[in-house]
Amino acid sequence: MVRAAAKKKSTAKKSTAKKSAAKKKTAAKKKKTVSRKKTLKAKVKAKRSGGKPAFKGSKPDLDGLGEILVRNSPDGIVAVDRDGTIRYLNSAAEKFLKSRDGKMIGQKFHYMVDPQRPQEATLAKTGRRDRVAEIRAVEAKLGREKIYIVSIHDITERANMEAQLRALSDVDPLTGLLNRRGFVVAASRQLTLAQRQGWGMSLFFLDLDGLKWINDEFGHLEGDQALIETGAILRKTVRRPDIIGRYAGDEFTILAFDSADRTDSADRIAERLRKNLSAHNERKRPDRKISFSIGVAHYSPGNTPSLDKLIDEADFKMYEEKRDKRCTR
């Protein structure tokens, strides 16, 4: 009976050991399966991310990254307080503002800071050209203090291209003089200035005589040459501040300042025009000589006619001279 009990006890122990071993084996298989699944998921994730393993560890220091970005930005970045004092500027801003080693910190920022709209500013010259920048600003908080973060973006190339396009839109390509639009804009500005300063001015209206005959007789290339030569005579005659334009096909305009000592009165300018025309024709063949008719209108500070009225008056006087020439032939 004792043997039977011992045998029964031994059998129970073996059964328990077998069950424990089976459990351990099952757990190991599960662990292995989970490990395989994790490995497979990691491989799939790495494949989707371009073959690179997923980053493990702490998150990148975004504050440090921001500092690197600001310091190495190709645009100038300046921190300006409410009093317009520079609190910080990066290396690009130092180059834009011609500063060395942060010596501008604590000094005034000499450009307008407007968070509402960008500004264009001319910075230091680069060689012979002006350096143009676009300045933008946003408000920010430095603790409890309000400051402005100002970016300076170099737009020199764009500004130069825009200036060239504006010049092309205002210049007559044949003679190099202002075209009608360019002359009207420049002359209107000068008349406004003359009215404010109390200056007298004279407006000349010139017409190249017989351009149609030149084109019909010798061809349009010769007609173009006559226009170019007329423009050269006008340039040689007037002073630098005076405005010259090719108003229409064979019509030219000049807006000239009256000098205080009357040494450059309208009569003297007209006299110089005819003298320079005569000197030009002495070098030309008889059948290639040019001539033009002149009309002059005067502007005085007490009388303020519009530019259109001055042009109409000078145009009328020019046609009177042209008619007199025909009557004397």
pTM across the whole model: 0.52
Please tell me whether residues 194 and 83 are part of one structural domain: no
Integer angstrom CA distances of residue 15 from 11, 174, 260, 266, 316: 6, 113, 129, 131, 130
Backbone angles phi, psi at 328, to 5 degrees: -90, -5
Domain of residue 186, CATH code:
3.30.70.270
Q: Is 295 within a domain?
A: yes
Please tell me whether residues 238 and 155 are part of one structural domain: no
pLDDT at 101: 56
Backbone angles phi, psi at 189, to 5 degrees: -65, -45
Is the Cβ–Cβ distance between 74 and 109 less than 8 Å?
Answer: no
Q: Is 128 within a domain?
A: yes
CA angle 263-264-270, nearest 5°? 125
Give the C-alpha separation, 101 to 258, whole Å.
53
pLDDT at 3: 54
Domain of residue 105, CATH code:
3.30.450.20
Print pLDDT tens along the chain (329 aa). 545 555 555 555 556 666 666 666 666 666 666 566 666 666 656 555 555 444 444 455 556 787 888 888 989 999 999 888 999 988 888 888 876 555 788 888 888 888 888 888 887 665 556 788 899 999 998 888 899 999 999 988 888 887 777 767 889 989 999 999 999 999 999 988 888 888 888 999 999 999 988 988 889 999 999 999 999 999 999 887 899 999 998 999 999 987 655 556 788 898 999 999 999 999 888 888 899 999 999 988 777 678 999 999 999 999 999 888 776 65
The tokens describing 183, both together, are: 């002359």
Q: What is the bridge-based pairing of β-strands 251-257 and 76-81? A: unpaired
Total tally of structural domains belonging to the chain:
2
Could you tell me which residues come within 8 angstroms of residue 119 by beta carbon, excluding any fewer than 6 positions away?
111, 112, 134, 135, 136
pLDDT at 122: 82
Q: Is 280 within a domain?
A: yes
Please tell me whether residues 128 and 175 are part of one structural domain: no
Please tell me whether residues 143 and 236 are part of one structural domain: no
Please tell me whether residues 212 and 310 are part of one structural domain: yes
Final residue of a domain: which of 159, 180, 212? 159
Closest by Cα among 192, 172, 178, 171 to 307: 192
Backbone angles phi, psi at 234, to 5 degrees: -65, -45
Quote the distance between the C-alpha of residue 301 and its chain's center.
37
Give the C-alpha separation, 236 to 201, whole Å.
19
Range(s) of the domain holding residue 309: 171-328
Residue 198, sorted as left (phi over 0), alpha (psi -120 to 50) or beta, turns out to be left
Which string of DSSP letters, residue by residue, matches 81-115? ETTSBEEEE-HHHHHHTT--TTTTTTSBP-S---T
Please tell me whether residues 322 and 195 are part of one structural domain: yes
Residue type, 285: R
Burial degree of 80 (CB within 10 A; 0-12, 13-18, 19+): buried
- Scored b (16 or more CB within 10 A) or e, 187-224 reads beebbeebeeeebbbbbbbbbbbbbeebbeeeeeeebe
Final residue of a domain: which of 109, 124, 159? 159
